Structure 1
Amino acid sequence: MNDTLHHHADGPPTGPALLLGPSLGTSTALWDAVAPELSSAFRTVRWDLPGHGESPAELIGPGATVAQLGSLVLDLAERLGLERFHYAGVSLGGAVGLWLAAHHPERIDRLAVICSSAHFGAPEPWLERAALVRKSGTDAVAEGAPGRWFTPGFLNGREGRLGRTLVDDLRRTDPQGYAACCDALAALDLRPDLPSVAAPTLVLAGRDDPATPPVHAREIADAVPGARLTELAHTSHLAPAEQPAAVLAALREHFAAPGPGPGMAVRREVLGDAHVDRAQARTTRLTAGFQDFISRYAWGEIWTDPTLSRRERSLVTLTALVAHGHLDELAMHVRAAVRNGLTPEEIGAVLLQCGVYVGVPSANAALAVAQRVLAEDGMEPR
């Protein structure tokens, strides 16, 4: 049996480590909209709870505790060679962070506790939920999850795609692993430990969170010495999925992260915030490494090289995309070329030149794409 928590690592191997903990019923996907940009500065390590995502359910059993979960996280850190690390966690993952900071202060540099609690209420409801899931599976709790996790209507919009993925993750969660985590929440009471937390601590609360209302966050912030509390408007329980930009900004400030780096800054300047935000929102466990590569290498080293101006780079890029028939990318870079100072007439001249040296059919298809894009943006050539 695999005796290690499943994890997903991104970012520079020599960067400061940042462990990202999940909420009950979710997987590493909870951080999909936040981790890629954090990975420009940190070695981010997302992990799955036992029975969740790809972690074995057998890592814990009935009567499990948050201390056991914290020990599993420490085992993972040992295997990765991490003596000290930053930590951010949501709900149950946040409680694991509090336990680590209180009981192993030598391992935690800075801590962020998101939509979490030091005491999740009376044990009976959690034990009843554990019994229900052991009997009927996680489908029995999945129907009510959107109401606990998200503000009304969130799942219906484009931004709700990640939320729908997380609900699907809950349905796939092993019932025994989920129930054991419920047992851990039933037994949890970290309130006596809070004054001993020495790590600089940020507490984030969703103002519309029914699972851990802001009063839970205030209790943590009042008891942890020097802790800072931030409440996020229009936010429910899974804040990294519902308000990734706000969570990212808060974590960057708290963990003293540098800005997103020259690559991400140039990428946004050339392609526009809307395009980059869409790309980040679509990031999955499969594509996260590629997004990191593009930001750090293509945009952070090639596009920032001062040998060529951005205007000249757009000329080269348009030609290369036409030559290889990458019309979807061409549409994006037509808009980028305009941002970099090319006029519609100059873009047309580039594509005409491509007709001579690349081929008439390729140039014809490229002209159709450019004409459509420029027309959509109200910039057709005179």
Structure 2
Amino acid sequence: MSIYNILDNYDFKNITIGVLGSHSALEILDGAKEEGFRTLCICQKGRELPYQKFKRLSDDILILDSFSDLLNNENQQKLRDQSTVIVPHRSFVVYLGIDNIENKLKVPVFGNRYILKAEDRQLPKNQYHLLRESNIALPRIYKSPSEIDGPSIVKIQEAKRNLERAFFIVTSYNDYKAKSQIRIKSGMINETDLKNSIIEQYLIGTYFNFNYFYSPLDNEVEFLGIERRLQSNIHDFTTSIPAKNQLEMEIELQNIEVGHTPASIRESLLEKVFEVGDKFAKTCLKEYPPGIIGPYSLQSVVTVDLDIIVYDVSLRVPGNPILATTSPYTRYKYGETFGVGRRIAIEIKKSLKQSNLAKLVT
């Protein structure tokens, strides 16, 4: 049963926008309601409170023992019966798994479900490959820890909470060995994950997350806006405590993302921002047909030479609710400020008017 056969049985006058209750569900649901869609929030038992508190956003809340229970035939049928289109975010990928999303989930997904795996740095056609093929600058990637010859970041997930990052910064091979052992002994990471970790050059500059939206209906890349991340326990430790006192404290810094702040960029740099977004979308079309559909984010650093270097990529809803109320760039284009969730809903609504929803889902 193909997704397009499933769409044949959908009620296009009563499409439901569905999302897993995690990550960026609230901004997706809010945008859907703004455009008049029925909404469904799929929650894991014990994690439903935020979605019950903001009850305006969800017409229906489906509570499951585990997010992975969504793959059960009866639950998938519930979604199909409501003519549901699922909008993916990071938790969707983590909790359901790429193989299940590609092969077992028989519900239309907004965007290209087959490009989601490119975020995995271990795959051959990964995000680094897409950036190189796009001729977009990226950090140096060390083939071995012994090559470390300056500030570098070890990209690894926590052992017990795979959704959370346990990235750490090192300056030499000896520093890498010492900090790795501290984290292994504490149980924060394990040796297997460490062997498979990625070590990147640590970039010096100003960090921006550039958020884009590719519209297959208009064949256009839109720049939606910029946000920056608040990370624990880096930000308020390094900004509120004098450096002298920081050196006296034996605290292992982490960069678990816990919030967002808005940002804008000087107008003379916008051309470069547009250029990297356009090049990346063109490469995705070539490498992962039908390419990127909808939102994506290029997490970047602007150097002192005003160059843009991209160090991470999001190929689904990036999770940036702050854009909905702070981005000037949607206002410049549309005359009003809104975020990723509403932009997705606008695209789906437009496709329904054109009888072309199949162009937006896989």
Task: Report the TM-score, using the length of structure 1 for normalisation.
Answer: 0.32
Higher relative CO (CA 8 A, sep ≥ 6), structure 1 or 2? 2
Which structure: greater strand fraction? 2
Select the structure that is richer in helix: 1
